[in-house]
Structure 1
Amino acid sequence: MKHLPKHLRPRWRYLAVGIEAWPDADFGRRAFQRAIWYSAGNLLGDPGSADAGLTLLSFRFSEGTGEAVVRVRRDHTESARAAIACVRAVDGDPVGIHVRGISGTVRACEERYMGRAAASLTQRDVAFGGAERPAVVRGDACDVQTESGSVGATAFDIE
């Protein structure tokens, strides 16, 4: 079977996606892909989701931060961004997702937008709510462990 000529092949765009979650969150590639598909199906409907063709090409997640490359059809980048922004949780773990940028090739996407998730993590005790508590510090952000779970804080919230 012959390949389609270049002018008839589908055109793709690649979205660099940043992922943030609590430090104890643990989910994998398959769960993240399922969350993206579910979000796209709910927002765009089945035909719109199929037209957008959201596919997870690469995925890396550990210790609460990660990144991914998502392939989408060229004419559906805005709807794909909206669908990705609607993802609130993956396997029951709440996540924050943002699209870092869009590129025409995977290589350009990785060179321009990837590699920022390797922020330095430090585990230390901080003064929060009048008591010493364990926390994971990532730059200016701080995830403080309390009796009821993790609490997001900034450098100004801790002493």
Structure 2
Amino acid sequence: MKHLPKHLRPRWRYLAVGIESWPDARIGRRAFQREVWYAGQNLLGDPGSADADLTVVRFDFEDGAGEALVKVRHGELEAARAAIACVDEIDGSPVGIFVHGISGTIRAAEEKYLGRRGQVSKERNVVFGNEERVAVVRDGSADVRLDDAFAGATDLDLA
């Protein structure tokens, strides 16, 4: 079977997506893909979701921060960005998702936008709410461990 000529092949764009959550969140590629599909289907409907064809190509998540590369059809960028922005929870963990940038090739997206997680997280003891607690600190913000959850804080909130 012959390949399609170049002018008939589908054209793709790649969204470099950043993901943030609590430090103890365990998020996998499959769960992220499922939530992206559901968000696309809920916002765009079945035909719009099929047109956008949101597919996770690369995924990396650990210690509450991660990144993904999502493949989208060329003319559907705005719809895809809107659908991805609708993802607010994955496997019961709240997440913040933002688009670093858009590229025409996987290689260019990886070189320009991915792998730049310069945030180094570390645990330290802090005083929060007049009690000493354990916190995961990243770039001026801290996730303070409460009894069974986390609270977000900044350096000004901590003593």
AA of the residue aligned to 1:68: A
Cα pair 1:17 1:98 within 8 Å, conserved: yes
AA of the residue aligned to 2:99: V
Cα pair 1:60 1:66 within 8 Å, conserved: yes
Map of 1:60 onto structure 2 = 60
Distance 1:48 1:118 in 2: 36
Map of 2:109 onto structure 1 = 109
Map of 2:38 onto structure 1 = 38
| 3-state secondary structure, aligned to 1:18 | strand
Map of 2:150 onto structure 1 = 150
AA of the residue aligned to 2:71: R
Deviates more, 1:27-36 or 1:114-123: 114-123
Deviation, 1:116, is: 2.1
Deviation, 1:86, is: 0.4
Deviation, 1:147, is: 2.4
Structure 2: gaps of 5 or more residues: none
Distance 2:123 2:70 in 1: 31
| 3-state secondary structure, aligned to 1:156 | helix
> TM-score normalized by structure 1?
0.97
Distance 2:32 2:117 in 1: 16
- The runs of 4+ residues in structure 1 deviating greater than 2 Å are none
Aligned pairs (5 A) from 1:116-135:
116-135=116-135
AA of the residue aligned to 1:8: L
Map of 2:77 onto structure 1 = 77
Distance 2:150 2:55 in 1: 31
> TM-score normalized by structure 2?
0.97
**Which string of whole-angstrom CA distances, capped at 9 and with x for unpartnered residues, describes residues 109-147 of structure 1?**
001101122521110011111111100001112100112
Map of 2:86 onto structure 1 = 86
RMSD: 0.9
Q: How many residue pairs get matched? A: 159
Taking only the aligned residue pairs, the percentage that are identical comes to 62
Cα pair 1:40 1:80 within 8 Å, conserved: yes
Cα pair 1:18 1:117 within 8 Å, conserved: no
Structure 1: gaps of 5 or more residues: none
Distance 1:49 1:69 in 2: 17
**Which string of whole-angstrom CA distances, capped at 9 and with x for unpartnered residues, describes residues 33-89 of structure 1?**
000000000000010000001000000001100000000001001110010010011
Map of 1:20 onto structure 2 = 20
Map of 1:141 onto structure 2 = 141
- Alignment of 1:29 onto 2:29: yes
Deviation, 1:27, is: 1.8
